Structure 1
Amino acid sequence: MKILVVGAGGVGGYFGARLAESGEDVTFLVREKRAKRLREDGLVVKSIHGDIHIQPSLVTKETPEIFDVVLLSTKAYHLQEVMEDLTGFVGEETVIVPLLNGFAHVEQLEMKFGAERVSGGLCFIETTLNEHGHIIQTSGVHKITFGERTGVGSERMDKLEQAFAKTKAMYKNSDRVLRDMWNKYLFITTLSSVTTLTRAPIGAVLESKDGEQFVEALMIEIKMVMDAIEAPLSENIVQRHMETMHKQDYGMKSSMQRDMEKELPVEGDHLQGYLLQKAKEQGMRCPYLEAVYQNLKVYEVQKNKRSL
């Protein structure tokens, strides 16, 4: 398979590097600035599962070619721009595997490339880039999940599974990938909400007075919105997610919180905002989620003023 990884950041760079390490035909679509650094230093991953240092195959939007699979893990606020960049790389048989959090991006990708070219996908991994552009991965979980959104297996997903089977990464070819995506959406929205609202890691939030009750109440409110739009969720998902919250490292921060600390854009519209719009369409009020979203909007105002 010819695999195109969009970007070489913490998520795409990690899984792409694992595939390249195992001998798969992997190319990274990057901007010229990132391409320059990668040509000079290579793609470097520092991981508890084994370090990687490769000289990656690179393309930019000016040199398009058709690929079998596109692994897409861009931030949501870059999606429109990235979709335009991808136009020359997506052919009739190409499948796009999106690894973004949330669900709004699926609708956008369908409109741009057609539903038949968009599979389901998600991942669980905690990574960051250091000052040298190296990918730092320190958590035990480094899992990617993909599958057809119809729930019916396919040759293209089987081939992707075979590719990941050679790697050190954890993987799953799921026949319930939509449920998996919504389950993660519930978890990641709750986690990013409470950590950005309190500016604290999840351990401190849960340890605080009534912190656990607050986290659970917010998760229940988010689930009510998802139930109202008939999103597929696993049974007892709130209880299971709360148990998972308690298993996180005390200092675990959401990626959105880390972005705020770096004064970067955040995905509030894509995650919390999308759900609030769905709630509005259902005539629902979500006071917890509304407070979280307002906090993110205030952050954006302050960030924009500081950048002037």
Structure 2
Amino acid sequence: MKILVVGAGATGGYFGALLARSGQDITFLVRPRRAAELGQRGLRVVGRGEEWSVAPRLVTADALDTTYDLVLLSVKSTALEQAMEDVAPAVGPDTVIVPLLNGLAHIDALNARFGAARVLGGVAKVVTTLDEHGDIVRLAPIAHLTIGEQDGTPTARVEKVRSVLAEAGIDALVPADVLTSMWHKWVFITTFGAVTSLMRGTVGEVNAVPGGAELGPAVLAEAAAVAEAAGRPVPQAERDLTLGIVTATGSPMVPSLYRDLVAGRPTEVEHLFGDLVARARALAVPTPLLDLATLHLRVHQARVTAPTAP
């Protein structure tokens, strides 16, 4: 299978590195700056007792001139429009696109651009980040992908993708309804993001102060209510897992959205929060805490994306 990974950041880079290490026919579509960085150091994975690298095959958008069997799309939602433009030459009649973004709005965008028949649902669960050298740092043991047809139909192509991922040592799951799995990840990531971003602290810092331990359950209740109203109720076991993460005493954990926020970078506020609270309004579900988190992130977004005065 001929594979193109769009983006070599913390998520796409990690899973792509595993595919490359296993000998798969894989190429990374990257920006010129990232291409230069990877050309010098290779694609390196460190942390949690790991330290290994691969010499990745790289291509930039101006040199992309062939189609691929599988496209793993792993970019921030803020880069989605440009990524779709860049990757278009790689998408042929039989190409399968697996997006690894959080939220759901990107599915509509990809369906409109490439046709729903080419787009699978996808969920990535991995805790990684890029360090100052551009190396991928593993922060926690979890690392698996969930894939499936948008309508939940079992198909040979999904099984083929799952098999290729499994050959690379990637735990790949095929649920009965991947869109429901995407909703559940969305509930988790907005809960995690709201708690840390509103309070500007790690999970442990939030829960160490009076009243802090009450925030996570309250935000989760709102996000889960939206999912339930949308026909995607979150099972109690998943709620308990999320609660365990956002109420953990002494935990240093923060999501990538928080790291972008405190570093003064743009965030995925509209894709993750704006879309969720808009759906909540349409479903008549009150979400005061999620509304507040959305407003907080929008103010930050306006500040960091404002034009620089001449």
For Structure 1 versus Structure 2, the TM-score category normalised by the shorter chain is: over 0.9
Alpha-carbon offset, residue 87 of structure 1: 0.8
Map of 2:145 onto structure 1: 144
Q: Which digits, 9 at most, give the CA deviation of each residue in 1:106-161, with x for residues without a partner? A: 11111111111111111111211122111111311111111222222222221222
Map of 1:57 onto structure 2: 57
Alpha-carbon offset, residue 232 of structure 1: 5.0
Map of 1:251 onto structure 2: 252
CA gap 1:207/1:176 in 2 versus in 1, 3 angstroms: farther
Q: Is the 8 A contact 2:205 2:250 kept in 1?
A: no
Aligned length: 308
Unaligned runs of 5+ in 2: none
Tell me if 1:282 matches 2:283.
yes
Map of 2:18 onto structure 1: 18
Map of 1:35 onto structure 2: 35
Q: Which digits, 9 at most, give the CA deviation of each residue in 1:188-208, with x for residues without a partner? A: 100001101111111222333
SS where residue 95 of structure 1 aligns?
strand
Aligned ranges for residues 258-273 of structure 1 at < 5 Å? 258-273=259-274
Residue identity matched to 2:294? Y
- Larger deviation: 210-219 or 296-305? 296-305
Map of 1:303 onto structure 2: 304
Aligned ranges for residues 64-83 of structure 1 at < 5 Å? 64-83=65-84
Tell me if 1:180 matches 2:163.
no
Q: Is the 8 A contact 2:208 2:249 kept in 1?
A: no
Q: Is the 8 A contact 1:69 1:94 kept in 2?
A: yes
- Larger deviation: 47-56 or 193-202? 47-56
Aligned ranges for residues 187-202 of structure 1 at < 5 Å? 187-202=188-203
Aligned counterparts of 1:241 and 1:131: Cα–Cα separation in 2: 29
Aligned ranges for residues 214-229 of structure 1 at < 5 Å? 214-229=215-230
Map of 2:127 onto structure 1: 126
Residue identity matched to 1:189? T
CA gap 1:50/1:111 in 2 versus in 1, 3 angstroms: same
| TM-score normalized with structure 1 length | 0.93
Q: Is the 8 A contact 1:147 1:177 kept in 2?
A: yes
Residue identity matched to 1:161? R
Q: Which digits, 9 at most, give the CA deviation of each residue in 1:16-45, with x for residues without a partner? A: 000110111111011112112222222111
Q: Which digits, 9 at most, give the CA deviation of each residue in 1:138-188, with x for residues without a partner? A: 311111111222222222221222222223433223333222111111011
Alpha-carbon offset, residue 294 of structure 1: 1.1
Unaligned runs of 5+ in 1: none
Q: Is the 8 A contact 1:49 1:168 kept in 2?
A: no
Q: Name the % identity.
A: 38
CA gap 1:224/1:176 in 2 versus in 1, 3 angstroms: same
The runs of at least 4 aligned residues of structure 1 exceeding 6 Å deviation read: none
- Larger deviation: 32-41 or 109-118? 32-41
Aligned counterparts of 1:8 and 1:139: Cα–Cα separation in 2: 19
SS where residue 126 of structure 1 aligns?
strand
CA gap 1:236/1:52 in 2 versus in 1, 3 angstroms: closer
CA gap 1:57/1:93 in 2 versus in 1, 3 angstroms: same
Alpha-carbon offset, residue 300 of structure 1: 1.9
Map of 1:155 onto structure 2: 156
CA RMSD after TM alignment:
2.0
Aligned ranges for residues 109-120 of structure 1 at < 5 Å? 109-120=110-121
Q: Is the 8 A contact 1:178 1:232 kept in 2?
A: no
- Larger deviation: 284-293 or 17-26? 284-293
